[in-house]
Structure 1
Amino acid sequence: KDIEVKRDGYALCASLQWVHSLAKASLHRGLKITENVIAIYDLKQDFSAPGPIHSGRETVYRNGSLLLRNVTMKDTGRYTLRTINRHGDIVSTTIMNLHVHKHVMQPFLEISDATVAVEKSVSLICISPHDDNSFHWLFNNQSLQLTDRMTLTVTKRVLRIDPVRIEDAGDYQCEVSNPVSSKTSLPVRLAVVKG
């Protein structure tokens, strides 16, 4: 299971409802069960004991949930929840992937020429310091409907219009987003004149 979370937020990393026959659960960072123990929860005694890598930001709850406080980029990774029955047998192992994302910064839109003659071409470039985000284009505050004269690069950062027509005149914006935030550039106006 994958979980997306914003940086400096809270992440509920693992949740599993207890079955009455379970006695313990252990929460680990990564896949190595014998190492990287965050905490062990003993159901019989209703007690949580911190493990060697417990930083003080983690809280383990009776239902098997792990709460991470003040999440940072370093918390990105795999977390393992292992449940153990009263006979000491492992009942289940659940692996969760935590993805921590920074808030995106507002992109900047660059245009090759703000005034273009009909039948010429123009390129608009969405500039953002983020590489792993989604890019979306707006035209006059609406989602841009691509025509056969418009092309986007694979990354969707560059919009090219060739040839330009009168109806292409207006305000263009690009939106950058990731699973936890999005920002839109200021509008750039394209003027189209008859050649």
Structure 2
Amino acid sequence: MEFPAASAHRGLVPWLGLLLAVRESGFTPGPEYSGRETANPDGTLIIRKVIPRDLGLYLVVAVLPKGKIAMGFGRLNVYEPLIVPTLLASNTTVTENVDAVVLTCYTNAVLTFWLYNARNLPFTERMKLSWDHRTLTIDPVRREDAGNYQCKVSNLIDAFESAPVQLDVKY
């Protein structure tokens, strides 16, 4: 058998043994495995039913003839399925220069963007975002703020937009 990671660099190399170290927390194969992992003789690692706790650095060390060692590593990122966002407004009919409106995007996404009339929201000095970008406050509301608002969420796998919320501004 050969160590596949070595083949990309030096041609096929026979290997004598395999040591697998997984993640920064550093567990190695043995009884403490969750039962979802299988280390194969060809150097591959199969993890069934991946969960967020599986993310991290994975390292494979192959012991080659004459005591030489070859190593390969990679990072596993785990993304939870995105929940389609729900956008709620504190009020959808407001009075110009009197009221404020708070729009909150309910989602499990890390990245949240705001749309106004199906385009990127042009932010003004009256608009404030929460630290996680899921809450947009407009204070005070002006007539030019009237229109459809949406939040758009994404990760490296998916992207979704909320249904639009219509803001009416009375003057």
Aligned counterpart, 1:107? 85
Match of 2:14, SS? strand
Kept after mapping to 1: 8 A contact 2:23/2:55: no
Deviation at 1:154, TM superposition (A): 1.3
Match of 1:22 in 2: 13
RMSD: 3.1
Runs of 4+ in 1 over 6 A off after TM superposition: none
**Percent of aligned pairs with the same amino acid:** 31
Quick check: which one's helix share is greater? 2
Relative to the length of structure 2, the TM-score reads: 0.76
Counterpart check, 1:172 vs 2:165: no
Size of the aligned set, in residue pairs, is 163
Instruction: Within 5 Å, give how 1:136-147 maps onto structure 2.
Output: 136-147=113-124
Within 5 Å, give how 1:32-71 maps onto structure 2. 36-37=28-29, 58=38, 60=40, 66=45, 68=47, 70-71=49-50
Write the deviation string for residues 53-108 of structure 1: whole angstroms up to 9, x where unpaired. Answer: 5957657585x55454553445333311223332122233x443312111111121
Note closer, same or farther for the CA distance 1:52–1:149 as it changes in structure 2 (3 Å cut): closer
Q: Please say if 1:127 is aligned against 2:99.
A: no
Say if 1:29 and 1:190 are closer, same or farther in 2 by CA, change over 3 A.
same
8 Å CA contact 2:6–2:70 kept in 1: the answer is: no
SS of structure 2 residue aligned to 1:167: helix
Distance 1:97 1:139, change over 3 A: same
The letter of the residue matching 1:165 is: R
Aligned counterparts of 2:154 and 2:28: Cα–Cα separation in 1: 33
- SS of residue in 2 equivalent to 1:16: helix
SS in 2 for 1:23: coil
Partner Cα separation in structure 2 for residue 103 and residue 145 of structure 1: 29
Residues 187, 71 of structure 1: CA spacing in aligned structure 2 closer, same or farther, 3 A cutoff? Answer: same
Give, as a single letter, the amino acid of the residue that structure 2 aligns with 1:90: I
Residues 11-31 of structure 1: per-residue CA shift (max 9 Å, x gap): xxxx83522373325444336
Distance 1:53 1:161, change over 3 A: closer
**Secondary structure of the corresponding residue to residue 123 of structure 1:** strand
Distance 1:192 1:82, change over 3 A: same
Residues 21 and 188 of structure 1: is their aligned pair in 2 closer, same or farther, counting only changes over 3 Å? closer
Residue in structure 2 matched with residue 6 of structure 1 by the alignment: none
SS at match of 2:152: strand
Consecutive unaligned residues in structure 1, runs of 5 or more: 1-14, 39-50
Structure 2 match to 1:84:
63
Partner SS state of residue 123, structure 2: coil
User: What is the TM-score with the length of structure 1 in the denominator?
Assistant: 0.68
How many angstroms apart in 1 are the aligned matches of 2:25 and 2:68?
17
